[in-house]
């Protein structure tokens, strides 16, 4: 039986302190696995020596490929780029911080061989600080309640996907793609492997409080219509209570001759209604902004440089697909220059 080719996608951002250790532990973890491996590291605009460390690894191991972004685009675009360029029969996505043990790869591959297209390493406990654990639980709890009920209670940071899942994902047109959450919604046969997520060994996490909040908003707006329904519900109840209040005022005036004090009641109504309107406009603006990005076709990422065999595997014309811009200079090939294409007759 032919050995499967496993692509390991690893987004990296300022991981110089741990990247060599990650590579070595991964080698130990896959040593006895009956499969062929390729490593695809995505340097997400690191400002330290991460890229230099990756180059040293790639020079010593021909299975290692490197993609370097022109700036920090985020881990989600990095994973998207890895899925665009990987060549494996099955793909594993995991971070380089060693909080997720590479030993999971063997267990997930066994599950894939049993017929599962999507395998999640579901977090069953955390070694993070109490504050980080609380923020993570809150983050996933909000997402589960509002958009993705299938999400593991404590989330997942590692996933394995079959080639057909990757092909479907790569064909999706979304600009603000959130890979793991998008794949979770695709269906297919899925499985989960619980594990304990360790504390970070070195360096600091790039997931700040505000990044978690922004990602939570992105997930809710992308995968849930709860905000739209909430706007409708708030508007309905505001109109209902306004009508009741109007009836009460008329009743007091007609039957008891009472006058309603104008200034206080007017200010309360104005402030409440104005607040509701601002919140409503904020939700609508979130949806409109995402549609604007979709229409303007901003690049998800820009590849500045590559290292390893990917220089041959990458598309020939880097500007054909404006959604995934690649302007890296390939060895043995002059830098690509843009040329105007002749218009077809009748266009």
Same domain, 182 and 285: no
Indicate the range of 168-172, 196-200, 226-230 predicted with least confidence: 226-230
Q: What is the pLDDT of residue 260?
A: 62
Does residue 162 surpass a pLDDT of 50?
Answer: yes
Among 43, 39, 56, CA closest to 14: 43
In a domain, 303, yes or no: no
Pairing type for strands 156-162 and 64-69 reads unpaired
Among 151, 212, 157, 226, CA closest to 184: 151
Domain count along the chain: 2
Q: 193 near 101, Cβ under 8 Å? A: no
Pairing type for strands 36-43 and 5-12 reads parallel
Does residue 27 surpass a pLDDT of 90?
Answer: yes
Does residue 36 surpass a pLDDT of 70?
Answer: yes
Does residue 329 surpass a pLDDT of 70?
Answer: no
Same domain, 178 and 269: no
Neighbours of 72 (CB within 10 A): 16
Among candidate residues 223, 239, 261, the one where a domain is terminated: 223
Indicate the range of 96-105, 142-151, 323-332 predicted with least confidence: 323-332
Q: What is the pLDDT of residue 334?
A: 47
Q: What is the pLDDT of residue 312?
A: 45
Whether this prediction's pTM lies above 0.85 is answered by no
Q: In what order do the strands lie in the sheet containing 325-326?
A: 190-197, 118-126, 156-162, 90-93, 5-12, 36-43, 64-69, 302-307, 325-326
Structure tokens at 239: 């109109």
Same domain, 278 and 180: no
Alpha carbons within 13 angstroms on the beta-carbon side of residue 192 total: 14
Q: What is the pLDDT of residue 315?
A: 41
Same domain, 289 and 218: no
Does residue 121 surpass a pLDDT of 60?
Answer: yes
In a domain, 336, yes or no: no
Q: Which residues of 92-125 are buried (b: 16+ CB within 10 A; e: fewer)?
A: bbbbbbbbbbbebbbebbebbeeebbbbbbbbee
- Arithmetic mean of pLDDT over the chain: 77
Looking at the DSSP assignment, which residues form a beta bridge with residue 189? none
Same domain, 66 and 171: yes
- pLDDT tens by residue, 221-260: 776 667 777 777 777 777 777 777 777 777 777 777 666 6
Structure tokens at 15: 């991981």
Higher pLDDT residue, 247 or 128? Answer: 247
The pLDDT of 42-59, averaged and rounded, is 91
CATH code, 163: 3.90.550.10
Same domain, 189 and 275: no
Does residue 318 surpass a pLDDT of 50?
Answer: no
> Which residues, at least 6 apart from 12, have a Cβ–Cβ distance to it below 8 Å?
19, 41, 42, 43, 44, 46, 50, 54, 78, 96
Distances (CA, A) of 338 to 81, 237, 320, 327, 335: 22, 57, 10, 10, 10
Roughly what angle, to the nearest 10 degrees, separates helices 104-113 and 19-30?
50
In a domain, 46, yes or no: yes
Binning pLDDT at 50, 70 and 90, where does residue 169 land?
A: confident
In a domain, 117, yes or no: yes
Same domain, 85 and 145: yes
Q: What is the pLDDT of residue 216?
A: 67
**In angstroms, rounded to a whole number, what is the distance separating the alpha carbons of residues 93 and 78?**
10
Among candidate residues 223, 242, 257, the one where a domain is terminated: 223
In a domain, 313, yes or no: no
Does residue 341 surpass a pLDDT of 60?
Answer: no
Same domain, 192 and 52: yes
The pLDDT of 159-183, averaged and rounded, is 82
- pLDDT tens by residue, 87-100: 889 999 998 888 88
Same domain, 50 and 99: yes
Same domain, 173 and 238: no
In a domain, 305, yes or no: no
Does residue 13 surpass a pLDDT of 80?
Answer: yes
Indicate the range of 134-148, 283-297, 312-326 predicted with least confidence: 312-326
Among candidate residues 223, 257, 280, the one where a domain is terminated: 223
In a domain, 331, yes or no: no
Q: 20 near 53, Cβ under 8 Å? A: yes
In a domain, 280, yes or no: yes
Same domain, 128 and 44: yes
**In angstroms, rounded to a whole number, what is the distance separating the alpha carbons of residues 182 and 112?**
19
- Domain region containing 207: 5-223
Same domain, 33 and 69: yes
């Amino acid at each position: 039986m032919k050995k499967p080719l496993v692509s390991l996608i690893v987004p990296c951002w300022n991981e110089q302190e741990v990247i060599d250790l990650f590579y070595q532990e991964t080698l130990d973890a896959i040593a006895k696995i009956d499969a062929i491996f390729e490593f695809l590291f995505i340097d997400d605009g690191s400002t330290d020596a991460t890229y230099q460390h990756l180059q040293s690894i790639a020079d010593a191991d021909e299975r290692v490929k490197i993609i370097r972004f022109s700036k920090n685009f985020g881990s989600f675009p990095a994973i998207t780029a890895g899925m665009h360029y990987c060549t494996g029969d099955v793909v594993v996505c995991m971070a380089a911080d060693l909080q997720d043990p590479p030993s999971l790869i063997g267990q997930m591959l066994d599950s894939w061989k049993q017929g599962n297209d999507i395998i999640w390493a579901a977090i069953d406990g955390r070694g993070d600080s109490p504050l980080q654990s609380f923020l993570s639980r809150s983050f996933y709890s909000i997402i589960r309640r509002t958009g993705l009920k299938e999400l593991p209670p404590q989330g997942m940071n590692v996933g394995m996907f079959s080639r057909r899942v990757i092909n479907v994902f790569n064909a999706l047109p979304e600009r603000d793609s959130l890979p793991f959450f998008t794949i979770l919604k695709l269906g297919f046969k899925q499985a989960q492997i619980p594990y304990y997520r360790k504390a970070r060994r070195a360096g600091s996490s790039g997931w700040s409080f505000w990044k978690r909040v922004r990602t939570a908003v992105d997930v809710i707006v992308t995968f849930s219509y709860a905000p739209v329904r909430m706007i409708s519900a708030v508007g309905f109840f505001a109109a209902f209570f306004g009508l009741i209040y109007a009836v009460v005022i008329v009743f007091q005036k007609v039957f008891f001759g009472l006058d309603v004090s104008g200034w206080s009641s007017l200010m309360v109504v104005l402030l409440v209604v104005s607040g509701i309107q601002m919140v409503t406009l904020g939700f609508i603006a979130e949806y409109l902004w995402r549609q604007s990005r979709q229409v303007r076709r901003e690049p998800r990422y820009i590849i500045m440089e590559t290292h390893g065999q990917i220089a041959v595997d990458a598309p020939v014309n880097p500007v054909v697909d404006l959604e995934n811009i690649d302007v890296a200079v390939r060895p043995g090939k002059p830098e690509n220059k843009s040329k105007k294409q002749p218009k077809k007759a009748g266009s």
